[in-house]
Structure 1
Amino acid sequence: MTTIHDVAKKSGYSVSTVSRVLNQKKHVSKEARQAIESAIQALDYVPNDLARDLSQGKNFHIGIVLPHTKHPYFIEMLNGMIDCAFSTVYRLVLLPSEYDEKVEMEYLEQLRGKAFDALIFTSRGVDLDRLVDYATYGPIICSENPQRTDLQAVYLNRQEAYEEAFRWFQLKGKKDILLLLSRKYEASVTSQAVIKAYQAVFGQYPKECQIISGVTTYEEGFLLGERLARMTSVEGIMANVDDVAAGITAAYQQAKCPPPVMVGQGNQWSSQLLHFSTIDHHLYDLGYRSLEMAIGACEQTQIELCSTFIARE
């Protein structure tokens, strides 16, 4: 494989002079530049981008740790990051984790080994204390409120929007509300926020039968809707994503039953077309701002964005 030393030997100039030409530096004579460029072309030399990046103390790779892409939450965040990255020299590397702590620790070790300039945790299985420990090796951006100042974060304040949605149910006289959570209460800050908002509005903890976790797609929503359509007690549903709410609605329509009052999340096309209420979490902005922070284009160390309840009658 051709090296910079081969170019130097063929051109008759030093390695340092060849390096200045490759990096488009000044203080190189016209004759030297022409001779070196001719040698590069003759030898078909391609610079080692990785070595060049590392010589600058960076590799311009940002690792995006995400559990999966089945939930629109992560897709919308990625869209924001990708659009932000287009205007920079940074490259995004997707790091799937399935909330596996061991896998996430491997990514943190790779940050320590300079495989990435920064990591963005869109969600996590590893403890926050671990993230703080590894933040000494490079920026780590957390997508939740860490409740501490020693960790960078771009996160959502969902609480007010959730409470507004439950008050909307309440104004409609709906009390028996089914809560659909992507993850179980103990493992998810988002699930905890939903339960907290329900308690704040209705003054009590929801019954165990009111909580269902693990339903994340349209197809899973449809299967759940088929079961719910045979029940008569469900008055309202707080879905974890619009597509799940759309699947439930389709199952009710197939059973020729009026669907419960519905609130989705995500403000996707499904909620707009079916005209049910939703909560917009501004996930594109969340992803965009997260990447800005990761590459040092933002002076703030923590940014709070607020979700918005959209009522559709």
Structure 2
Amino acid sequence: MANIKDVAKLSGCSVTTVSRVLNNHPHVSKEKKQRILTVIKELDYAPNSQARDLILGASKNIGVVIPNVNHSYFEKIISGVIESAFEIGYAVTLLPTNYDPKIEKSYFQQLKTKRLDALILTSKCNSLAEIEKNTKYGPIICCEDTQNYAIPSVYADRGKAYTEIFNYLKDAGYKNIGVTINRSEEVSASSKTNIESYEKVLGIPIEGNIVRNCSTMEDGKMAASYFFEEGRNFDAIVTNGDHVASGIYKYAKDHQLSQPLLIGQENLAISEVLSFTTIDFHLKKIGSAAFQLAVSGEMEKQIFPYSIIKRMPD
């Protein structure tokens, strides 16, 4: 297999001149450029893309760090990133972590070695302090509030959204309100915000009224088995996703139980089909904005509006 030295030797030019031609450098004579291109064609030479990227200082490849791909929340953000990347010829590499901090750190190393131009963290598993240390290697954008850390971010004001929802339920006369979350509030800023909003608005501890580790429809059914146990009478449940809400709906229907008022998140089609209220955090737009920050390298913190789609159950 031919290499750049073979091209240089057969064309009678230096390796530096060949490299300039490969990277469309303007300061090469037409005669030399044509001679080099002819040899490249004869040898069927393909330049090493990683080496070229090191020369250019850019790979045109953005890494999107995700816990997993089996969740509509991350799917929507990814969709926004990919659409924006396609428009300007960037590649997108999905980097799953399964919430393992060591794996996430390995992606910081890829940023350091220039295999990636930037990273978008859809859900982090290292501290903000640790993430900030690695921004010296390239842009790292978080899809959550990065507080006073010098980390670009694009996110929705979840605290405001949850406060509005709990006030709405309180004013409507709901007395026994349940909540589902995914990750523990000890590691998830979103879960912590949800719980803090609940306790502030309703004035009661959340323990006994919460089910953790929910992300799928099956998890929703599991949560429903708790909420509908004898002696419990939850009249409203604020879930962390439309799939979880649909699992609770299905459980109540299968067991011929009265449906509680359900609040979902993500505004998926299932929420319209089953006619329950949902919070739309406009995740696709957040993904697109995160990509724009990744490419520009600007130090910005953007807060996106949310929408509460209120629906009355059939």
TM-score by length of 1: 0.91
Asked if 2 retains the 8 angstrom alpha-carbon contact of 1:140 and 1:294, the reply is: yes
Partner Cα distance (1:190, 1:27) in 2: 53
Q: Which amino acid aligns with 1:5?
A: K
Partner Cα distance (1:132, 1:35) in 2: 48
Q: Which amino acid aligns with 1:175?
A: K
User: Which residues in structure 2 correspond to 1:269-280 (within 5 Å)?
Assistant: 269-280=269-280
Partner of 2:303: 304
Query: Which segments of 5 or more consecutive residues in structure 2 lack a partner in the other structure?
Result: none
Q: Which amino acid aligns with 2:292?
A: E
Q: Does 1:219 align with 2:229?
A: no
Partner of 1:119: 119
| Cα drift, residue 185 of structure 1 | 1.6
Partner of 1:135: 135
User: Which residues in structure 2 correspond to 1:1-313 (within 5 Å)?
Assistant: 1-26=1-26, 28=28, 31-206=31-206, 208-226=207-225, 228-231=227-230, 233-296=233-296, 299-313=298-312
Q: Deviations over 1:19-46 (max 9, x none)?
A: 3433334465555444333221211111
Q: Deviations over 1:110-148 (max 9, x none)?
A: 322333222222112211111111111211112211210
Partner Cα distance (2:229, 2:132) in 1: 49
Partner Cα distance (1:30, 1:132) in 2: 47
SS in structure 2 opposite 1:187? Answer: coil
The structure-2 alpha-carbon separation of the partners of 1:19 and 1:124, relative to structure 1 and needing over 3 Å to count, comes to closer
| Cα drift, residue 301 of structure 1 | 1.6
The structure-2 alpha-carbon separation of the partners of 1:133 and 1:29, relative to structure 1 and needing over 3 Å to count, comes to closer
- Alignment RMSD: 2.0
Moved more, 121-130 or 101-110: 101-110
Q: Which amino acid aligns with 1:214?
A: N
SS in structure 2 opposite 1:178? Answer: strand
Asked if 1 retains the 8 angstrom alpha-carbon contact of 2:4 and 2:15, the reply is: yes
SS in structure 1 opposite 2:208? Answer: helix
Asked if 1 retains the 8 angstrom alpha-carbon contact of 2:279 and 2:309, the reply is: yes
The structure-2 alpha-carbon separation of the partners of 1:137 and 1:20, relative to structure 1 and needing over 3 Å to count, comes to closer
SS in structure 2 opposite 1:64? Answer: strand
Query: Which segments of 5 or more consecutive residues in structure 1 lack a partner in the other structure?
Result: none
Q: Which amino acid aligns with 1:302?
A: K
Q: Which amino acid aligns with 1:4?
A: I
Partner Cα distance (1:8, 1:129) in 2: 47
Partner Cα distance (1:108, 1:26) in 2: 34
Q: Deviations over 1:245-271 (max 9, x none)?
A: 111111211222221111001101110
